[in-house]
Every structure is written in structure tokens, then in C-alpha cells.
Amino acid sequence: MSMTTTMTGDAFSGVRKPLLEGAMFPASCYTDPAFLARETERIFRRDWILVGDTGRVAKPGDWWSFDLAGIPLIVARGRDGVIRGFANTCRHRGCKLLNDGQGNSRAFKCGYHGWVYALDGKLTGAPQMEHSKGFDKADYGLHPIRVANWGVFLFVCLDDATPPLAEYLGDYFRLMGEYEPDRLVVTRRVTADLGCNWKVYAENLMEAYHTPYVHTSSIAGNDYDPGMEVLSGKGAGLFGQTEGAPIWLDHGPNHSAIVSRHTGSNALLPTDKGFPPMPRLTGTAAEGSYFTYPFPNLLIAGNVDCLWYVQINPRGTNRCTLTLASCFHEETVARPDFAEIAQAYYRRLDVSTAEDATITEEQQKGLSSPLARPGRLSHMEPVVHAFRQWVLERVGM
């Protein structure tokens, strides 16, 4: 299917219908460089994007350089303790300043002609430039980008016109505040390169319809899984009801969430034992789990004993990089048996992620066929539906 066919509003009329009447995105939304370029410009360069966690820059002088949808960036913690963000592009002739990675430095020095930048982005050294007329170092600091954190979770925004993070995510903070985000600690991060479009993996995370089929021998045994309940009929019809129902949805302008009341933890394989609940949990957080989706590119899952996030970074139409990070309350991390018991949580994430990776790469292969045609959605895919409406609105289709 060519882009001239798919880039018209008509191609999306089925997507815009209500969930149970709605059609899939045209396959080209997952394969066409022009669609990805539009997403990069209108989503990844405009919205607040979760890039990681503050554990990347825990101490003054810590820096982390990475790319976001192909744009090289730096996040650094200054001597004053403030976390700042910059374009990872030298202001002399545009060389990438730092290789991707992490470190601790007093300053950043460009490898091309030796310009030096302080941790706050100011240009402090520019060899030979005293001969250039009217050159003032104060005019050539690193290009700043907006950085904000919600507890341990770290976001950047490349557009100065976008509202502040708290406004952007709005009610999301109320929804998740019970987890004491300032007292969470990231204890493990894993990255994985996948052969699928970023939305393919995002949508996989947004539904439990696939759980009995893809996770047959792992988390499908969690009988408190909302997907299992709905599939078996126990919870049928509950999706979409209001707060207080055993399973309910929460939608804001830039997030969706599946909230469910159940016993046990979704963060473990059914056969594993874990930690007791986090201290001071109240409300639904104490009684079940939250699968939340601050759009566009992440999952933050909250359980009584653990949180984890999955961040998805586009690497072209048919590639993306996942970062999975496990977060525990600082009081849990302080337990003498923490390292031993935490293995069970890491094992669950690794197993389910490997299973999801295999199936999403197969999905990408199927979507890449010239014979791929849009299908339909089930009642178990309400967040997928909401996410697609959000993407369409953002890309202006």
C-alpha cells in the first residue's frame, strides 16, 4: 500500500469508529518512513517523552547521553544538583559531543576542535576563538532542552510551547501518587533491540488479549490477570466502567490506564514468591495493579510490591529499542534479602518480554506484506483503540 493511499483521512475512517466497530491502522503506519517522520516531528519532538529514570544521573557530575527517535541528547546533573538537558551537538561545527553512554565529568570536551562545556551547558573553553570578531562564548552554550521528573521517572520535551509535564499528564499523577514515586529506586535496567515498529510493541503492552496465547507457560497462569478474567467471562463487561469496579479504565488527554483489583502480584510468575506490599500503600494500589500508559511510548506498571517501566525508542520503521526497568520502594531495597528475592521479579520480566518480542517481530513481518489489510479490534483492546485516536490526532490525520 503506498503512502499516497494511506495519508488521506479516508484511510483512517475505520480507525476512528468506536472500539467495537473500529478497524486497525493501515499496515503502512507501521512500515512507511513518511509516517514515522511525521510521528518524529509531531510526537517525539513535541510531547513529553519518558526517556528513563533519575538513577541515570544520581550524583552531581553524572551525565547520560542517548538518542530519542534519532535525536542525540544529553542529560546531566550539575554541581548544584539540578538535572538539565541539552542537544548532544557541539556549537562549533555540530559534532556529536558525547558518545552514547554514561559517566561522571567536570565538563564536556568536543573531540573535534576542543571546545569545552560546563555541566550547565555554558561554553567555557574555545581554543583560538579570541581571533574571531565579535565572538562571545556566552552566545554558544549547548542548546538546552526541557527536562522534568515525576519521582524517579525522567521525561524530556523538545518543544518549548508544550505545557509543563504536570499539566501534560494531569490526572495521571493523582492516579499513581499512592506509590510514593520520590521513594522508588530503579534496581535493574535491561535494554533489547527489536525488529518491529515502536507502535507494534506499545500496542502489545496495552492489551491482555494475547496473554493466554503468547504467555501460555508463564504469566497466563496469573488468574488475577484482567485479560484472563475478561476472556473467561468472569469480568466480562467491566472494561470501561467507572472507578470502583474490579477492572476499570482511566483516560486523560495524554494517558490511558487499566486498573484492576485482585489479590497477589502481577510482577511475579505464578510459582514465585516475592516481597510483602510496599509500606503505606492505600486505595486501589493496595488492592491490585495499575497498567498505565503515559503516551506515547511507555508503560508504567504498578503492583503492591514492585513497579516497572518499559520505554520504547523508535529506530526506524521496523526497529525499536526497549528499556525495561524494575523499581522498588527504598524500604524494600533496604531489606537484607532484597537482591535474592528481586531475582524473581527480573525473571518474570525477562520471560514475558522475550515472549512478547518474538510475537511482535512476527507481527512486523506480517504487516510488512503488501497483502496486509486492516482487521478489527476486540472489547479487550480499549487502550489500543484510545492510543490510536491519540496518534491520529497528533500526526494530524
Residues of this chain that interact with Fe ion (CB under 5 A) are 356
**Residues 213, 380 contacting (CB under 8 angstroms):** no
Question: Does residue number 93 form part of the binding site for ligand FES (CB under 6 A)?
Answer: yes
Question: Does residue number 189 form part of the binding site for ligand FES (CB under 6 A)?
Answer: no
C-alpha grid cell, residue 116: 569545552
Give least dist CB 119 to ligand FES, A: 17
Given 90, 230, 312, 367, the residue binding ligand FES (CB under 6 A): 90
In sequence order, what DSSP letters do the residues of 38-103 get, joined into one string?
Answer: HHIIIIITTS-EEEEEGGGG-STTEEEEEEETTEEEEEEE-TTS-EEEEESB-TTT--B-S-SEEE
Give least dist CB 128 to ligand FES, A: 10
Question: Does residue number 113 form part of the binding site for ligand FES (CB under 6 A)?
Answer: yes
Given the complex with Fe ion, which of 102 and 358 has the nearer CB atom? Answer: 358
Unique residue bearing C-alpha cell 517481530: 361
Give least dist CB 86 to ligand FES, A: 13
Given 115, 155, 295, 308, the residue binding ligand FES (CB under 6 A): 115
Given the complex with ligand FES, which of 143 and 251 has the nearer CB atom? Answer: 143
Listed ranges 69-77, 92-100, 230-238, 307-315: which one lies at the site for ligand FES (CB under 6 A): 92-100
The secondary structure element, H or E, covering residue 321 is strand 320-329
Given 34, 71, 95, 118, the residue binding ligand FES (CB under 6 A): 95
Question: Does residue number 96 form part of the binding site for ligand FES (CB under 6 A)?
Answer: no
Per-residue burial over 25-45, b if 16 or more Cβ lie within 10 Å, else e, is bbbbbbbbeebbebbbebbbb
Listed ranges 85-93, 221-229, 230-238, 339-347: which one lies at the site for ligand FES (CB under 6 A): 85-93
Given the complex with Fe ion, which of 152 and 324 has the nearer CB atom? Answer: 324
Question: Does residue number 42 form part of the binding site for ligand FES (CB under 6 A)?
Answer: no
Given the complex with ligand FES, which of 113 and 146 has the nearer CB atom? Answer: 113
Instruction: Say which DSSP state 164 is in.
Output: P
Instruction: Say which DSSP state 327 is in.
Output: E
Outline where the chain has alpha helix (H): 3-6, 13-16, 33-39, 165-169, 171-176, 198-205, 211-214, 226-232, 330-333, 338-367, 382-395
Give me the residues that bind ligand FES (CB under 6 A), please: 90, 92-93, 95, 110, 112-115
